[in-house]
Structure formats: C-alpha cells, structure tokens
Structure 1
Amino acid sequence: MGQENGTTDLPYEVRSSEELGRYFVATRDLVPGDVVLAECPLVFGPKAMGDPDASMPCVGCYKPVFTDVGERCSKCGWPVCSGNCPGLKDPKHHGIECQILSARPECVLDNMAEYYRHDALLPLRCVLLQNTNPVAWKKLLEMQSHMECRTPGTEVYDEANEFIVEYLMNSFINKLDGNLKKKYLPEISEQLLHEMCGIIDTNGLEIRLPEGSELLALYAKTCIMEHSCVPNTKHSFNLSKKDSDLYRITIKVVLPIIKDNHITTMYSHALWGTQARRQHLKDTKYFSCKCERCSDPTELGTYLSAMKCFGDGNETCDGIHLPENPLDEETEWACNKCKVKVNNSQINMLISQMGEEVDNVLMMGGSVTMLENLLCRLSTFLHPNHYHLYSIKHSLVQLYGRQPSFMSEDILDKKIRMCRDLINITKTLDPGNARLCLYTSVLHHELHSALVLKSKKVKSDGTIRTTEEIKPLLVEAKAAIETALESLKDELEETSGKKLYAVLEGSQRDFERYCKEKKIHF
C-alpha cells in the first residue's frame, strides 16, 4: 500500500492488469458512507454554453454573461462578468492564460461563438501547467490519452484539430513574443495539444455550477477508477468559494465493498440500454464494458432494452426478444417463446427511430394525451420496462394528479402503480443511489402526493374514507417523502438538488399538518 499525505491507512490500493490498466481495490471492508478519497483538481476550465451566441461563461468565475452586451477583460478582450472579477488575476483561473490570449489584440462583436471558443481554454490551461505547476504537469502526462485511437482522419482528431489545436496555434500561440513563449510554454506543439484533448476527453469530469454553466476538471487519482454500470461509489464536488478546496471531489462508498474487491464509478447514463451505454463508452472512453449488467441480456432482470416478439408473420407470439450475447455488437435477438430471431441492425434502427419520437415529444413538453398516445403506440413493440417507455412514464407521473382533468381515483391509482414500477426499476439499476438520486427522489415524491390525494378523495359510493382506511395510504406516503428527502442528501450543492429539496420539505410540512388535522399518529 502506498503512502498519501504521510498516512498509510488508505482504504484503497492501486493495482493494474493488461485488460483494465490501473484500478482501485479495497484494502479493507468498506461500508456505505466511507470516503474512498478526496482531492482537488490538477486543472479545470469552462465548457461552452449550450447556446454560445446568447451567453458565454465569464473566464474569471464562469458565471454566464450575455454574449453581445457583457463586459470584456481589459487585457485579452474575452467576455467577463465584470472588470473587477477576482478570477481574472487568479493564476488558477484566468490569470496566466490571459497573457497568451492577449497575443490576439482584436476584440470583436460579430460571430463571437467562433471567435471566443471556451472549449479551447482547458487544453491551453493544461499546457500552461509546464510553467505554473510542474508537479501537476507531470501527473497530467501520466493520464491516458488514447492517441492510438485518435489518428488523423478520425472524426475525433479532425474536430479537435479544427476547433481547438489550429485555433489555439493560429490565433494565439504562433503570435506570441519569443520570450513569453519560452517562459510559459517551453514545450508546445500541435501534437502536444492533441494529446491534451485526448487526456481531457478520456479523463475529464463535468462539474455543473449553480449559475448554469459547466466546467471540465482533471483529477490525478480519481481518473484511475474503473467503470461499472452498477457502481459502488458516487462522487460530489465542493462548489463553495473556499479557494484551496474549490471543486474538490469526494468519492463515497454507496454499496458494501469487500476487501480486495474493485472500487468502481460510472461514466455513462444509468437509464440507457446496454447497447447505447456500451457504444457511448467505446466512443468516449475507448473500452468495451463487460460488467455484470452489460453481460446480462435482461439487465439485472429489469428488461430495460427488451422488445416484444414480432411473431413470424402468420402467428402472433407474446414472448420477448433479448440479445443472445449482449457483448457482441452483431448479436441476434431471440424470442424466449418461439423460434423467431431478429438481427441487431434491425433492432437498432427501430430503437433509434423510437428514441427520436420520444425526444421530440418530451422536448415539446408533451401533454398527457400526447404522452399516452406515444406510450400506447410504442408499447406494441417494447417491453413495458423498456427505457423509452420509462422516459414517457417518468413524465406522465409528474402530470397525473396535477391537472384538473387528471385527478380521478382511477388516474391516481394508475399513477401509484406507475411510480412503484419505475421505483423498482431505478432501485435495481442503481441500488446505491449513485447516479439516479434525482429520479429516485422525484418518483418517491410523486408517489407520496398521489397517496395523499387518494386519501382525500370521496369514495365511489359518495362516502368519506374512515381514519382506518386512510392510514395505510399515509403510512406509505410518509415513507415515500422520507426516502425522497434522503435520496438528495449528497445533492444539496447542486442547484437542481437544492430546489427539489425545498419543494419536498414543503410537501413534508403540508403532510404533517394534514396528519395532525386527521389525528393520525404513526
């Protein structure tokens, strides 16, 4: 076991294998809540905003500013929140890069998204570590870049070349005064910048800031962690303004880890099906996942990617199609009841067409009727637990019981059933609540509100429910709101977590008042 900061009692040690590279194993039995590690980033930088023509992050503090009317850094001309932003002089933020960015003196007001490319700032900050922090620079160079997969002619190489490497070289680095270049960038080349892009793509972690902008950050130890689609840890970031601890990452155990077992994290979306997750990991992290979930055609019994059998053209069949070998991209999908098989490309085409339909309806903020129609249509082809149907149902449970025409007891019963089903899927896929805590929280809150509403409904025969009839509903409602709050305990630095938590607290107060009125005690 290695030493860290003078201590030898680390909960992990680094091992390596040909297949996995470096990875962590537990040096003792670990239980949920144990901290595996906490570390500050070697370097971080802003990402471009979703619509850079409308807003850009301030280069000093990353707060979004209006692109066309915002102030500018007096030295380099990049958009800032204010000329007095403390980050403009801070070497960890804009202080050093400003010297390089000032090599291009012109300031423009047109075509700003092309002119001020925020995605290029992190690669620049990486190469500047040569001068500002040689120890961090050395650690950075030990990270994987997968340059062997990023050769000229590949889409990822050509994109990085056009939007980052050539942009930085032609706009700034080639214009630098010789002494300045020697001081700040003793070693610089297009190849080195490409390597930085590879390191960032492979190892960068996304940090969402309260104001709405996002950063990418690189962490020396965290990057060693191995991926699993059922991770046993979760991470959170310190977003408070304490300078020495800013953006510190903390990795916490969420499922028991036995000594010598692997410590894992997750780099893809837990609610994507196996093929989508594996493709994303292959494209972005350059490896093929073979974890327990990916290896299981049923995805841990959730059937999240399963299709209904198409039949053989003559007879219908109520079986379901699953991939024969989910780790093989060319696998056939076989029915569990008849002999019909379907090839993978047909399934992929269908799934991606349905995905576009679901995305379009959700993006338009689909009404209950639109969502129900789509659910009904897609249910002809998909297993009830399929991830496309999960998305539609997750939207529906947030609409049922909240609009006057969808408040009947039948609708509430339907909502309760849907919430319970989605909670079961979510819990199976993410038993440690590492990735889906917001989903878990929303589902438990919706279950809570449906149970409370049902308890207030007059029965179909016109009589009011007795205390004894109400109590079981309220017992479940109480447990649901408590679980919803508990799910968010590590998310309170994030804006979405904080907002949702405040809503839940309001619901809990209303619930306690209601129970008091009804003289119901638990």
Structure 2
Amino acid sequence: MFKNNRDLLIENDDEINATGILLALRLLLIKYRNPAVWEKINYMEAHLDKRIGTSIWKDREVNIVDVIRRLRMPAEIEPPSAELMQKLCGILDVNAFQLRSPGALDGLLLRGLYIEATLMAHDCRGNTHLSVDDNFQLTIYASVTIKEDEPILFNYTSSLLGTADRKEHLREGKYFECECSLCRDPYELESHLSSVLCPHCKEGFVGMQDTSSLNPYERGSRWQCQMCKRTFSGRLIRATLNICRTLIDDCDIDIKSIEGLLKRLSRSLHTNHFLMLSLKQKLLMLCRKEIISPNPQKKIIQKMLDTCKEVYNVLDIVEPGISRLKGIMLYEMHLPMIILANRSYSAREISSAQLACRLEEARDLLKKALTMLFLEPVTTPEGKLAKRALEELRTLNQNISDVKSLPSDKPKIHVRKAKVHRKKIK
C-alpha cells in the first residue's frame, strides 16, 4: 500500500508520516484479512463518546484519519469512514501497551495491541509484571501471589507519579477515575508521593482530604496535616509545587547542585515526593558515572547507596513483589556496599569477619535483584544486566570464600591523643 501511494508519502509540502498511521492501518486491514481477530478487536472499548471534540480527537483526525482516507486502497478494501478510523484510534489509545524498541530500532516509541492482555484491569499497585522481547512477544508474570478468583491487575500509568498526576493521566488517556487503595489514601499508603511539609507546624505532612476531587489543586480543595490537623487550600499546594518545579528546571545537572536542591526542597516537600524522586533519579545517573571512575569519592559512593535505598523503599510500597525498577535498584545498591566494605577493611576499620559479613549483605542484594531481572528477555538492557549480575555473583562468592579463609584479625583502633596541659613551675 505504501508503494502504491509513494507520491503521497514523499510530498514535500504535505509529507505523510508513515509510522504515525501504520498501526491504525494494520487494524483496518485485519478487518478484511482476518475476521476472527477483527471480531475481538471490534469488541474493545474505544470511549468514542468521551473523546469526541477533545484535543486527542482533533489530533487523530488530522494526523491519522484524514491521512488514511487519502490513500488509494486495494480493490477489495472499502474506503474507511471517519467514524471507523476514529474508533480504531480510540481502541489503540485506550488498549495498546507502550513497548520498548529492540536494540536495532533504539529510540523509537512503539505501541502494541495484545488482545488477551487488554483484559487486565487497572490498579496503581498492580499484581503483574510484564516483559517484551525483541520479537514483541509479551509475557505476563504474577508479581505477587494471586489467589483463585482474584482480579489480574496491571498499572496503566507510572508508579512514581503523585495521585493527582496518575489520576489525570488515566482520566485523559483511559477515560476512567481510579479508585484504588493508593489513590484513596491521602498519604498514598505512607509512600507520601504527593505529601508537602506542613507550612504551620513544620513537622507533619499535608495530604489531600478529598482524593476523589477532579482537581485537588483548586481553591475549594482542602489538604490536611496529619499532625496538627490544620487544613490548607489546594491552590497553596499548587503554588508550592510550581515554585519547586521552577527551581528544578533552573538547576544545573551536577552532583553538588542536585544535592543542594534536594536539601532545599526538603523544607517544603516530603523526601518521597514525586518531584524529589525525579531529582534523585538524576542524581543516581550522575553517581553511576562517578562510581565507575578509577578513584570515586567516598561521600559519593555513600550518597549513591543511600539514594538507592530511598528510591527502593518507595518502590516497595507502590510496586509490590517483582518489579523491574526494584531489581535495578537492588543491583545498584550492591556495588557501593562492596566498595565501602573493601575500603574500610583496607583502612583496618573493620576485621576480616566483618568484611565477610558486609560482602554477604551485598551478595543477598544481588541475589534478590536476580530474582527480578531473570524474567527479562536476554536482549533487553535488564536482561543484559541480569547476565552481568550473575557473573558478578560468582566473583563475589569467591571473594567471600577467600576473605573467610584469612586469619582472624581485629580492626585498627584509632586513638585520639589527649592534650596535656602542664603548669609552669616558677
């Protein structure tokens, strides 16, 4: 079809983006080529009544519907109506899964429609873990134990967003209001992804009172401190977040600047706030580069370890059980632990027995990381990380064995000499 419409695809003044229409066009062709599959696709929810007239509707009208209707179709295919094409666009927007590009296509944003997988309901703390290989084979694992007759749930949005942002994403892209346990709790099950430090008592954290509000940042919405019980307008919270976002946008991307900004923002936000977490992820990216240098600073090694733990503790709440991000955090925790332990032993601050104990703690983290990363296809970045982690585990086991074979010793005790004040004798 593209070959037969080449003149349209290469028009300089009105060039058609072939990748933008490809998936919708494939669905249209299925209608004529595979009636059994089409019947299942046609049954999927498109939410046309909620999409009509919206910005997404207008975008699809210009960039997909009108483009496909301009194409010359094969003789056996009836020219599609605008209503049919909008329905196909709706089916894709509501039901498709976001896919990571294979290595050869790195950088492309892809979507895939999986008929059985679309049957999973949403929960911001899902009970499934998804992986996709280079052939776009989607595999669904239970991330926690799922009992008989319990629903199979998948998180349609990002787990590290605050409640208001998660709900807005689901409302505008999936057309429903989330009422899961995480969204209903003012403090997000103690993850505090949206919590702001109380402007009054400076001790408690403020959470939204009405979690069902469509706009918790408007004047009429109330937020309450969990300690002093004082309430504040949603507009005040929004103003606080706007100031924080401006500071983040203006921040230099280096370790010292980000550390300083995190300290400054902690006077207004909970350390787990989603804006803080986004900064911490940038900090980790910089620490990774530093830690593989020939002689990384001890404070940066410790900062990486502490930050990984902080992010992991939040993930453990919002992504229970098996989690790709948790696997990565666990892997990234083990290396600074090993470096710090070896340095302490070299400085004779700890004994060989204590060194072995700390190396065993790092090994436990690595093992736990592998239980999550082994589920990833071998060609993905996480799959390659799992292979590297397995090799490092073998080396670490050998190192622990070597350390345990060393003669027992005691850490060097650093004695601080006291100043002696002597009286002069006349």
TM-score by length of 1: 0.69
2:240 paired with 1:381: no
Cα deviation code 1:379-417 (max 9, x no counterpart): 111111212222323343451644578522x55444433
1:15 counterpart residue number: none
2:359 paired with 1:470: no
The answer to whether the Cα contact below 8 Å between 2:356 and 2:403 also exists between their aligned partners in 1 is no
Task: Identify the range of structure 1 (114-123 vs 479-488) with the bigger mean alpha-carbon deviation.
Answer: 114-123
When residues 503 and 459 of structure 1 are mapped into structure 2, their CA distance, relative to the original with a 3 A threshold, is closer
Task: Indicate the structure (1 or 2) with the bigger Cα radius of gyration.
Answer: 2
Out of 330, 335, 342, which is 2:225 matched to?
335
Cα deviation code 1:220-265 (max 9, x no counterpart): 222122100111122233434xxxxxx3433222212222222211
Out of 132, 135, 143, which is 1:237 matched to?
132
The 1-side partners of 2:281 and 2:113 are apart by 33
When residues 353 and 227 of structure 1 are mapped into structure 2, their CA distance, relative to the original with a 3 A threshold, is farther
2:91 counterpart residue number: 199
2:423 counterpart residue number: none
The 2-side partners of 1:307 and 1:422 are apart by 18
1:32 counterpart residue number: none
When residues 404 and 342 of structure 1 are mapped into structure 2, their CA distance, relative to the original with a 3 A threshold, is farther
1:105 counterpart residue number: 7
Give SS of 1:251's match: strand
When residues 189 and 397 of structure 1 are mapped into structure 2, their CA distance, relative to the original with a 3 A threshold, is closer
When residues 197 and 139 of structure 1 are mapped into structure 2, their CA distance, relative to the original with a 3 A threshold, is same
1:256 counterpart residue number: 145
Out of 41, 44, 55, which is 1:155 matched to?
55
1:447 counterpart residue number: 333
When residues 317 and 405 of structure 1 are mapped into structure 2, their CA distance, relative to the original with a 3 A threshold, is farther
The 2-side partners of 1:111 and 1:464 are apart by 71
Out of 284, 292, 295, which is 2:184 matched to?
295
Give SS of 1:518's match: helix
Task: Identify the range of structure 1 (468-477 vs 396-405) with the bigger mean alpha-carbon deviation.
Answer: 396-405
2:404 counterpart residue number: 519
Displacement of 1:464: 5.0
The answer to whether the Cα contact below 8 Å between 1:208 and 1:494 also exists between their aligned partners in 2 is no
Give SS of 2:145's match: coil
1:130 counterpart residue number: 31
The 1-side partners of 2:13 and 2:248 are apart by 33
When residues 234 and 443 of structure 1 are mapped into structure 2, their CA distance, relative to the original with a 3 A threshold, is closer
- Aligned residue type for 2:231: K
The answer to whether the Cα contact below 8 Å between 1:151 and 1:157 also exists between their aligned partners in 2 is yes
The 2-side partners of 1:250 and 1:470 are apart by 40
The answer to whether the Cα contact below 8 Å between 1:324 and 1:332 also exists between their aligned partners in 2 is yes
- Aligned residue type for 1:372: E
The answer to whether the Cα contact below 8 Å between 2:128 and 2:153 also exists between their aligned partners in 1 is yes
When residues 425 and 205 of structure 1 are mapped into structure 2, their CA distance, relative to the original with a 3 A threshold, is same
When residues 163 and 350 of structure 1 are mapped into structure 2, their CA distance, relative to the original with a 3 A threshold, is farther
* CA RMSD after TM alignment: 2.7
The answer to whether the Cα contact below 8 Å between 1:467 and 1:520 also exists between their aligned partners in 2 is no
Give SS of 2:374's match: coil
Displacement of 1:107: 6.1
> Which runs of no fewer than 5 residues in structure 2 stay unpaired?
407-426
TM-score by length of 2: 0.84
The answer to whether the Cα contact below 8 Å between 1:397 and 1:446 also exists between their aligned partners in 2 is no
Task: Identify the range of structure 1 (209-218 vs 223-232) with the bigger mean alpha-carbon deviation.
Answer: 209-218
Hey, which of these two has a bigger chunk of helix by percent?
2
2:16 counterpart residue number: 115
The answer to whether the Cα contact below 8 Å between 2:8 and 2:16 also exists between their aligned partners in 1 is no
Hey, which of these two has a bigger chunk of strand by percent?
1
- Aligned residue type for 2:69: M
The 2-side partners of 1:520 and 1:151 are apart by 72
1:86 counterpart residue number: none
The 2-side partners of 1:282 and 1:141 are apart by 22
Displacement of 1:292: 0.8
Out of 140, 157, 160, which is 1:271 matched to?
160
> Which runs of no fewer than 5 residues in structure 1 stay unpaired?
1-96, 241-246
Identity fraction in percent: 26
Cα deviation code 1:44-77 (max 9, x no counterpart): xxxxxxxxxxxxxxxxxxxxxxxxxxxxxxxxxx
The 1-side partners of 2:348 and 2:321 are apart by 43
User: How many residue pairs end up in the alignment?
Assistant: 395
Displacement of 1:269: 0.5
Displacement of 1:352: 5.0
The 2-side partners of 1:459 and 1:489 are apart by 32
Which residues in structure 2 correspond to 1:71-86 (within 5 Å)? none
2:308 counterpart residue number: 419
1:28 counterpart residue number: none
Give SS of 1:105's match: helix
1:308 counterpart residue number: 197
Misfit runs of 4+, over 6 Å: none
- Aligned residue type for 2:117: T
1:188 counterpart residue number: 80
Displacement of 1:120: 1.0
Give SS of 1:393's match: helix
The answer to whether the Cα contact below 8 Å between 1:233 and 1:264 also exists between their aligned partners in 2 is yes
The 1-side partners of 2:199 and 2:294 are apart by 39
Give SS of 2:188's match: coil
Greater RCO (CA < 8 Å, at least 6 residues apart): 1
- Aligned residue type for 1:332: R
When residues 255 and 134 of structure 1 are mapped into structure 2, their CA distance, relative to the original with a 3 A threshold, is same
- Aligned residue type for 1:148: D
When residues 102 and 225 of structure 1 are mapped into structure 2, their CA distance, relative to the original with a 3 A threshold, is same
The 2-side partners of 1:359 and 1:512 are apart by 44
